[in-house]
Chain A
Amino acid sequence: MISWFKYKNYPHYWKQYSKKFKQKQPKSIENNRFVIFDTETTGLDFKNDRILSIGAISIFNNIIDVADSFEIYLKQEEFKADTVEIHGILKEGKLTKLSEAEAMEKFINYIGNSVLVAHHTAFDIEMINAALKRLDLPKLKNKTIDTGILYKKLEGKKDNHFNLDALCKEFNIPKNDRHTAAGDAFITALLFLKILATLKKQRNLHYSDLFRVSGQEGLL
């Protein structure tokens, strides 16, 4: 009864979002929309740290669509001076900032039921889920892909564990706007396309292979 009561109280956008997962989703890489995203936060603690910005871009049919990109900045009371030098977002900058509630609504509307892709997805998903929780909302329902794990599926890369910088170097991706959410999302999108292309060359790649996880444990 409680959960039914709670469901009734979810905002309209969340209901719409939930509804999308009831439809059957396509089973091929080409027919699915992937949302590659990244968050910049005040720190690495899910409980106490806050999201400062979210950047994302979509891929459909192996094409990155710049027109379908996403970039928002959040107004947060939690602020740590020591991470400013990484993400460069000041507490009172010139950027238009949204409240966490507005930001989540926009983000949820943007991602829909697409597959979420990030480098070390677990962290970014967990940060979003924490924000959702503060709004009394459930967790994200989307399928997720971690480019760090996807990379390990490549031949001979099983035991490697690399950060985004190292992979950029390996895949010859220019590191523009590193440590801005949108910039990292863009870089990750290129990385994702390149890993996919290499995987396709190495084997007969199916959509479901992308989610077959061998060792997600320990990443959190």
Chain B
Amino acid sequence: MKNTISERIFDFLKNYPPLNLIPNATLLEISQNVEIQYFEKDQIIFSQNDHPHEHFYIINQGSVRLYRFIENEKHVLDICDEGDLFGLRPLIMNENYLMGSSANEETILYGIPISLFHDIILNYPKVSQFLIASFATNTREPFSEKHKGKLFANVAAIQKIEHGFSEIQSANYNKNPITCSPDTTIQTACLIMTKKFINSIIVTENEIPIGIITDKDIRTKIGTGLYTIINKVSDIMTSPVVTFPQNITVAEAQIMILKHKVSHLCITKDGSNKTELVGILTQQDLILTQGNSPSLLTKEIKNAKDAETLKYIRAKASDLTRGYFEQEIPIYFVTKVISEINTAITKKAIRMSISEIGKQPPVSFSWLALGSQGRKEQLLMTDQDNALVFENVNPAEYNSVKNYFLELAEKVTEKLNIVGFDYCPANIMATNPKWCISFDEWKQQFKEWITDPIPEKILLSIIFFDFELIYGDETLYNKMADSVFETIEKNQIFLGFLGKVTLDNPPPLGFFKQFLVEQDGENKDSFDIKSRAIRPLVDAARILSLHYKLRANNTIARYEKLMEIEPQNSELFESCANAFKILLQFRTSQGLANNDNGKFVDINSLNKADRLKLKSCFKPIKNVQEAIKMRFRTSQIPQV
């Protein structure tokens, strides 16, 4: 049956993302169920904190203002135009509207029923990708050219400094935090919080923040009867507080909140908890600034019931990576966010597995991530590299303890495999009895690698020495790191061997300044960006940080620490860090484009600018390799 009206609506909808990603027949069905509303200028469409409507809206004519009241002050966050979509996120999240909206001029809206859209989100991954990316960035067209570099379109375009690597969008925080003294009674504090409509109050002493009380404290400590309202706030406050300096960026704030699992950050004069409080930054502030998807994802991970759910969440994280890349978000920030998500997934997998076994671990243990995961440089899905250390036990118990942890590892790696982290082909996993051992055994293993550096042992040590604690006992982990540093200190020649291996990957330019491309095989004429460019930088950073006993695994962090230790060479290390960032970005975007691990770059597919950019990374590689050659006298090391 002909339906002229819905055809006309279809003609309109098909022009705008993400609706343009839906097949015609489905979009026509949507068009047949649209509701049309007319709004006068300044008429309210929905108010902040309203229950979600049954429809989300696309603007047919006119424009719509999105705003938010913060402490009774109205902030306009965005003006949406014809073809823009709004009011969808609360419907998907099943939460009340975070913002209010009103007609900026006379406006006709097409309301699309969410009931029809749920299936679309499930069935058309491109649509959900678009939505996730746009929620994460708050741009309505996250994949488009014109929004490139505009992560926080709602607030302000992100500014780029000259070399463009620092995420300098500063986070908005409340500069007039409400405080009370430690001997205030809980009742008085609650009265202040109620009067000011706030969910937290900072406890200060001479303006220095010493603790915080949130709604949660009132619920868990007062509501349960542990304390009474005539107790002092110092009895129930959470202390110390997580602090940060004034120039906090959105990226940093997000990471702090993820890392410390807090909802409030205290901003102090110098960033420590020894100076005056100047502001408070809440998770809510961040949500406002950004779609804040990463913390949403970690929340989802926490609530996940099975590995399948984790897989789904990890897929969403991949979409997030893609979105970030399209936005040219600094790589350092992206790697941190993705690493935190990977870590959270692994932790969850371990917790699930322990409860599946139904028995708590017999002794304390640490689950370690190795390789790129240990260095927190993993953006794409790669193989699992992990290991497990458990507390020394007496020989009689050893077998049963080890069997427990092997069973645990079996369950954990199985879950990670479902999530999408393939089993390690070289079997460097905690399921391998060789890599699921007690602390003393590890100590012995390190000693063996360091004192007898034959090639295969060096290769293993390279992977293992980038270990990072994911779950479990921190002391055990620290003891592991100490034992590596001690043994290396006594065997300095080991670093020479390590240096030699590093130099086996020469700078990636040929004699005539051509790229060194693969000579044969499947990847003929491709440039192996991982082995030839990224690995030399990672290796160099590792040797130097083992030398200086740096407690840092991340290559960028390592170079940054080296800049402090050797100010005379800070230029070299800075250039290495920058080259590394560019290369990692290159590899990841290649990987995302080709849906692989991005190891090989097809040189012919690169444009001139990209080639130059790549080549500019090779000089630091050459320089740092020269430095290592000199420092560790690799020429005196026999050919390995």
Residues of A within 8 A of B2 (CB): 71, 73, 95-96, 182
Chain A residue with the shortest CB-CB distance to B39? A197
Chain A residue with the shortest CB-CB distance to B113? A67
Known contacts A69-B3, A71-B2, A190-B108; A177 and B8 CB within 8 A of each other: yes
Residues of A within 8 A of B9 (CB): 66
Q: Are B38 and A190 in contact (CB under 8 A)?
A: yes
Q: Which of B29-37, B179-187, B341-349, B362-370 is the interface stretch?
A: B29-37
Chain B residue with the shortest CB-CB distance to A66? B34
Nearest Cβ distance between residue B34 and chain A, in whole angstroms?
5
Q: Which residues of B97-122 have CB atoms within 8 Å of chain A's CB atoms?
A: 106, 108, 111
Q: Are A66 and B32 in contact (CB under 8 A)?
A: yes
**CB of B610 closer than 8 Å to a CB of A:** no
Of A66, A193, A194, A197, which contacts B31 at CB under 8 A? Answer: A66
Residues of B within 8 A of A55 (CB): 4-5
Nearest Cβ distance between residue B184 and chain A, in whole angstroms?
51
Question: Which of the listed residues B5, B35, B36, B108 has the most CB atoms from chain A within 10 Å of its own CB?
Answer: B5
**CB of A57 closer than 8 Å to a CB of B:** yes
Q: Mark B56-85, 1 if CB is under 8 A from A, else 0.
A: 000001000000000000000000000000
Residues of A within 8 A of B111 (CB): 63
Q: Mark A44-67, 1 if CB is under 8 A from B, else 0.
A: 000000000001010000111111
Q: Mark A145-159, 1 if CB is under 8 A from B, else 0.
A: 000000000000000
Residues of B within 8 A of A174 (CB): 61
Q: Are B4 and A194 in contact (CB under 8 A)?
A: no
**CB of B40 closer than 8 Å to a CB of A:** yes
Q: Are A63 and B4 in contact (CB under 8 A)?
A: no
Q: Are B1 and A69 in contact (CB under 8 A)?
A: no
User: In whole angstroms, how far apart are the Cα atoms of A174 and B12 in the complex?
Assistant: 12
Q: Are B40 and A64 in contact (CB under 8 A)?
A: no
Q: Mark A170-211, 1 if CB is under 8 A from B, else 0.
A: 001010110010110110011001100110010000000000
Residues of B within 8 A of A198 (CB): 40
User: In whole angstroms, how far apart are the Cα atoms of A78 and B36 in the complex?
Assistant: 36
Q: Which residues of B165-181 have CB atoms within 8 Å of chain A's CB atoms?
A: none
Chain B residue with the shortest CB-CB distance to A180? B4
Nearest Cβ distance between residue B393 and chain A, in whole angstroms?
69
Q: Are B35 and A183 in contact (CB under 8 A)?
A: no
Known contacts A62-B37, A176-B8, A197-B40; A71 and B32 CB within 8 A of each other: no
User: In whole angstroms, how far apart are the Cα atoms of A66 and B37 in the complex?
Assistant: 11
Q: Are B35 and A63 in contact (CB under 8 A)?
A: yes
Residues of A within 8 A of B108 (CB): 190
Q: Are B40 and A186 in contact (CB under 8 A)?
A: no
Chain B residue with the shortest CB-CB distance to A182? B4
Nearest Cβ distance between residue A82 and chain B, in whole angstroms?
23
**CB of B6 closer than 8 Å to a CB of A:** yes
Nearest Cβ distance between residue A78 and chain B, in whole angstroms?
22
Q: Are B36 and A177 in contact (CB under 8 A)?
A: no
Nearest Cβ distance between residue B615 and chain A, in whole angstroms?
53
User: In whole angstroms, how far apart are the Cα atoms of A183 and B37 in the complex?
Assistant: 17
Q: Are B1 and A71 in contact (CB under 8 A)?
A: yes
Chain A residue with the shortest CB-CB distance to B40? A197
Nearest Cβ distance between residue A141 and chain B, in whole angstroms?
26
Q: Are B32 and A62 in contact (CB under 8 A)?
A: no
Of A65, A183, A190, A201, which contacts B4 at CB under 8 A? Answer: A183
Of A66, A71, A177, A185, which contacts B35 at CB under 8 A? Answer: A66
Of B5, B33, B37, B38, which contacts A57 at CB under 8 A? Answer: B5
Chain B residue with the shortest CB-CB distance to A197? B40
Of B5, B31, B37, B40, which contacts A71 at CB under 8 A? Answer: B5
Q: Are B38 and A71 in contact (CB under 8 A)?
A: no
Residues of A within 8 A of B33 (CB): 66-67
User: In whole angstroms, how far apart are the Cα atoms of A185 and B34 in the complex?
Assistant: 16
Nearest Cβ distance between residue B1 and chain A, in whole angstroms?
7
Chain B residue with the shortest CB-CB distance to A72? B1
Chain B residue with the shortest CB-CB distance to A56? B5
Q: Are A197 and B38 in contact (CB under 8 A)?
A: yes
Nearest Cβ distance between residue B57 and chain A, in whole angstroms?
12
Q: Are B32 and A67 in contact (CB under 8 A)?
A: yes
Residues of B within 8 A of A73 (CB): 2
Nearest Cβ distance between residue A173 and chain B, in whole angstroms?
9
Q: Are A64 and B4 in contact (CB under 8 A)?
A: no
Chain B residue with the shortest CB-CB distance to A94? B2
Chain B residue with the shortest CB-CB distance to A198? B40
Nearest Cβ distance between residue A150 and chain B, in whole angstroms?
15
User: In whole angstroms, how far apart are the Cα atoms of A19 and B31 in the complex?
Assistant: 34
Nearest Cβ distance between residue B38 and chain A, in whole angstroms?
4
User: In whole angstroms, how far apart are the Cα atoms of A95 and B4 in the complex?
Assistant: 12
Q: Mark B524-562, 1 if CB is under 8 A from A, else 0.
A: 000000000000000000000000000000000000000
Nearest Cβ distance between residue B9 and chain A, in whole angstroms?
6
Chain A residue with the shortest CB-CB distance to B33? A67
Q: Are B3 and A182 in contact (CB under 8 A)?
A: yes
User: In whole angstroms, how far apart are the Cα atoms of A194 and B103 in the complex?
Assistant: 14
Q: Are A63 and B37 in contact (CB under 8 A)?
A: yes
Q: Are B8 and A71 in contact (CB under 8 A)?
A: no
Chain B residue with the shortest CB-CB distance to A60? B35
Q: Which residues of B1-45 have CB atoms within 8 Å of chain A's CB atoms?
A: 1-6, 8-9, 31-38, 40
Q: Mark A61-105, 1 if CB is under 8 A from B, else 0.
A: 011111101010100000000000000000000011000000000
Q: Are B38 and A177 in contact (CB under 8 A)?
A: no
Residues of B within 8 A of A96 (CB): 1-2
User: In whole angstroms, how far apart are the Cα atoms of A137 and B397 in the complex?
Assistant: 97
Nearest Cβ distance between residue A97 and chain B, in whole angstroms?
11
Nearest Cβ distance between residue B31 and chain A, in whole angstroms?
7
Nearest Cβ distance between residue B33 and chain A, in whole angstroms?
5
Residues of B within 8 A of A64 (CB): 35-37
User: In whole angstroms, how far apart are the Cα atoms of A164 and B392 in the complex?
Assistant: 89
Given contacts A66-B35, A182-B5, A201-B40, 20 further A-B contacts (CB under 8 A): A55-B5, A63-B36, A63-B37, A63-B111, A66-B6, A67-B34, A71-B1, A172-B61, A172-B106, A177-B4, A177-B8, A180-B4, A182-B4, A183-B5, A186-B4, A189-B36, A190-B38, A194-B38, A197-B38, A197-B40
25 A/B residue pairs, CB under 8 Å, sorted by A = A55-B5, A62-B37, A62-B38, A66-B5, A66-B31, A66-B32, A66-B34, A66-B35, A67-B32, A69-B3, A71-B1, A71-B3, A71-B5, A73-B2, A172-B106, A174-B61, A180-B4, A182-B2, A183-B8, A185-B5, A189-B36, A190-B38, A190-B108, A193-B37, A193-B38
10 nearest A-B pairs in the assembled complex, by CB-CB distance: A64-B36, A182-B4, A193-B38, A66-B34, A67-B33, A186-B5, A63-B35, A197-B40, A69-B5, A176-B8
